[in-house]
């Protein structure tokens, strides 16, 4: 028995007329009659009564028609679902995100994905440093990452999304809080609150290098893994920091975000593993590129 036998039977049962059914199926009437007889012989059950004037379903045929409709509807739905998955319109997507992007680009991305890809189940893992995101990508725990390069894994593809300016972050009681901008060298005597060092955060290495260029070694008193914690510690007066500008979207009382001299910035990049190819990730990247361009 093949699916075409079921499709032929359904049309004949709906039309109760072999000629009309044959026309609807775009086949000749004799082969159609032959296919229905083969189906009845294989089942060992008469599904239709035929006369020169009319065709009718037997009681067994009526029950069989109900089941045939369920089967064919399920087959059609499965095919549709397979196409949607293959086109990246259905499936699951887990995104990891560095903290400073959590407050700006990331919310817009998630909203756009929900609007444009309603068949995709989007879950998020925010406030992840780059090495943790790379590990999660390689382990299959996340599908797409928004992180700060560099990335050393040969399996991971990295694509710049945007370049974020760096700004100074000081308590609102700081001596420079009322300034229009801050020279990095003016922070040489302050304690610093930084993202985790030892290769865990690209920002830590970048800020340390900028301080060296300004003629001093930053006195790092606190290292954190989450941007929200960093801002909270600065608000508590435990130090100053240098952060990507999107961090200013985090509205915590007690801090001032100030332009920094000399001007510097850091990249935000998308990262993913291309093999095996994921249509959902490709769809998400298309949405991300558009939003970043806006």
Can you name the CATH fold of 3-86? Answer: Arc Repressor Mutant, subunit A (1.10.10)
**8 A C-beta contact, residue 149 and residue 269:** yes
Topology, domain 165-265: D-Maltodextrin-Binding Protein; domain 2 (3.40.190)
Decide: residue 186, CB within 10 A, 0-12 exposed, 13-18 middle, 19+ buried.
middle
- The mean pLDDT of the chain is 90
Q: pLDDT digits over 102-114, tens only?
A: 777 888 999 999 9
Q: What is the pLDDT of residue 276?
A: 85
Question: CA-CA distance, 192 to 241, in Å (whole number)?
Answer: 6
Min mean pLDDT across 42-56, 73-87, 187-201 is at 73-87
Return the biggest CA–CA distance within the chain.
Answer: 104
Whether residue 87 is predicted with pLDDT greater than 70 in this model: the reply is: no
Share of the chain above pLDDT 70, in %: 98
- CATH T-level topology, domain 91-160+268-293: D-Maltodextrin-Binding Protein; domain 2 (3.40.190)
Distance CA 226, CA 164 (A): 18
Mean pLDDT in residue range 140-155: 92
Q: Would the CATH topology of 3-86 be identical to that of 91-160+268-293? A: no
pLDDT at position 86: 67
What's the pLDDT at 232?
Answer: 95
Domain-wise residue ranges, the chain: 3-86, 91-160+268-293, 165-265
Stretch among 64-73, 159-168, 192-201 having the lowest mean pLDDT: 192-201
- HSE at residue 227, side-chain half, CA atoms within 13 A, is 28
Which of 4-13, 32-41, 79-88 is the least confident region? 79-88
pTM: 0.72
Give 174's Cβ-side CA count (13 Å radius): 30
């Amino acid at each position: 028995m093949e699916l075409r036998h079921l499709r032929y039977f359904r049309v004949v049962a709906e039309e109760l007329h072999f000629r009309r059914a044959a026309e609807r199926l775009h086949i000749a009437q004799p082969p159609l009659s032959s296919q229905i007889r083969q189906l009845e012989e294989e089942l060992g059950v008469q599904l239709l009564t035929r006369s020169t004037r009319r065709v009718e379903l037997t009681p067994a045929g009526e029950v069989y028609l109900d089941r045939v409709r369920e089967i064919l509807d399920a087959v059609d739905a499965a095919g549709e679902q397979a196409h949607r998955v293959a086109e990246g319109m259905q499936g699951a997507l887990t995104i990891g995100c560095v903290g400073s992007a959590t407050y700006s680009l990331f919310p817009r991305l998630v909203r756009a994905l929900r609007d444009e890809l309603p068949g995709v189940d989007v879950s998020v893992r925010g406030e992840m440093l780059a090495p943790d995101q790379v590990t999660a990508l390689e382990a299959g725990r996340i599908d797409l990452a928004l992180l700060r390069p560099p990335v050393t894994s040969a399996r991971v593809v990295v694509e710049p999304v945007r370049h974020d300016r760096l700004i100074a972050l000081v308590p609102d009681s700081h001596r420079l809080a009322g300034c229009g901008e801050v020279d990095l060298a003016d922070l040489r005597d302050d304690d610093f609150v930084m993202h985790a060092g030892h290769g865990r955060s690209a920002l830590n290495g970048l800020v340390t290098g900028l301080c060296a260029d300004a003629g001093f070694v930053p006195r790092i008193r606190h290292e954190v893994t989450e941007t929200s914690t960093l801002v909270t510690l600065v608000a508590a007066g435990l130090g100053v920091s240098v952060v990507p500008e999107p961090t200013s979207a985090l509205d915590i009382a007690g801090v001032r975000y100030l332009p920094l001299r000399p001007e510097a910035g850091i990249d935000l990049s998308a990262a993913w593993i291309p093999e095996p190819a994921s249509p959902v990730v490709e769809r998400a990247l298309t949405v991300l590129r558009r939003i970043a361009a806006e």
